[in-house]
Chains A and B, each alone.
Chain A
Amino acid sequence: MLKDITLGQYFPGTSVIHRLDPRTKLIGLVCYIVALFLAKSYVSYALMALVLISLSALAHIRPKTLLSGLKPLMFIVAFTGIINLFYGSGEPLVQFWIFKITANGIRTAVFMVLRIMLLVCGTFLLTYTTSPLQLTDGLEKLFAPLKVIRFPVHELAMMMSIALRFIPTLIEETDKIMSAQKARGASFDTGKLKERARALVPLLVPLFVSAFRRADELATAMECRCYHAGEGRTRMKELRFAAGDIAALILCAAAIAAVSVLRHYGL
Chain B
Amino acid sequence: MPIIKVENLTHVYSQGTPFEKVAIDKISLEIDRGEIVGIIGRTGSGKSTFIQHLNGLLKPTSGKVFFDGADIHASKEAARDVRYRVGLVFQYPEYQLFEETVSRDIAFGPKNMGLTEAEIKERVLEAAGFADVPESILESSPLELSGGQKRRVAIAGVIAMMPQVLILDEPTAGLDPVGRESILQKIMDYRRETEGTILLVSHSMDDVARLATRLLVFDGGRIAMDGTPAEIFDRAEELKAMGLTVPAATEIALALRRRGIDIPESIYTINYLRKQLVSLRKGDGAC
Contacts and interface: CB of A to CB of B under 8 A. Distances in A.
A and B touch in the complex (CB under 8 A): yes
A73 to B, nearest CB: 18
A173 B88 CA distance: 17
A196 interface: no
A205 B97 CA distance: 8
Interface in A171-216: 173, 176-177, 179-187, 201-202, 205-206, 209-210
The size bracket of the interface on B is 20 to 34
Given A4-B14, A177-B96, A206-B96, A184 B143 contact: no
B112 A183 contact: no
Contact of B87 (A177, A183, A202): A183
B80 A180 contact: no
B239 to A, nearest CB: 28
B168 to A, nearest CB: 12
B52 interface: yes
B84 A182 contact: no
B136 interface: no
Nearest to A183: B88
Given A177-B95, A202-B108, A206-B95, A184 B157 contact: yes
B161 interface: yes
B268 to A, nearest CB: 31
B158 interface: yes
B158 A183 contact: yes
A177 B161 CA distance: 18
B98 interface: yes
Contacts of B46: none
A87 to B, nearest CB: 37
Contacts of B52: 179
B57 interface: yes
Contacts of B88: 183
B161 A184 contact: yes
B97 to A, nearest CB: 7
Interface in B66-90: 80, 83-84, 87-88, 90
Main SS of chain B's interface residues?
helix
Given A202-B98, A202-B108, A180 B93 contact: yes
B55 interface: yes
A55 B98 CA distance: 48
B229 interface: no
Contact of A210 (B55, B93, B95): B95
B113 A185 contact: yes
A183 B108 CA distance: 11
B109 interface: yes
Interface string A143-180: 00000000000000000000000000000010011011
A61 to B, nearest CB: 15
A198 B25 CA distance: 38
B17 A4 contact: yes
B158 A184 contact: yes
Contacts of B161: 184-185
Nearest to A186: B112
Interface in B86-122: 87-88, 90, 93, 95-98, 108-109, 112-113
B187 to A, nearest CB: 17
B57 A182 contact: yes
A185 B158 contact: no
Given A4-B14, A4-B17, A180 B98 contact: no
Contacts of B98: 201-202, 205-206, 209
Interface of A: 4, 173, 176-177, 179-187, 201-202, 205-206, 209-210
28 contacts: A4-B14, A4-B17, A4-B19, A173-B95, A176-B95, A177-B96, A180-B90, A180-B93, A181-B96, A181-B108, A183-B158, A184-B83, A184-B108, A184-B109, A184-B158, A185-B83, A185-B113, A185-B161, A186-B112, A187-B112, A202-B96, A202-B98, A205-B98, A206-B95, A206-B97, A206-B98, A209-B95, A209-B98
Given A185-B80, A206-B98, 18 more contacts: A176-B95, A177-B95, A179-B52, A179-B90, A180-B90, A180-B93, A183-B55, A183-B57, A183-B83, A183-B88, A184-B83, A184-B161, A185-B84, A185-B108, A185-B161, A187-B112, A202-B108, A209-B143
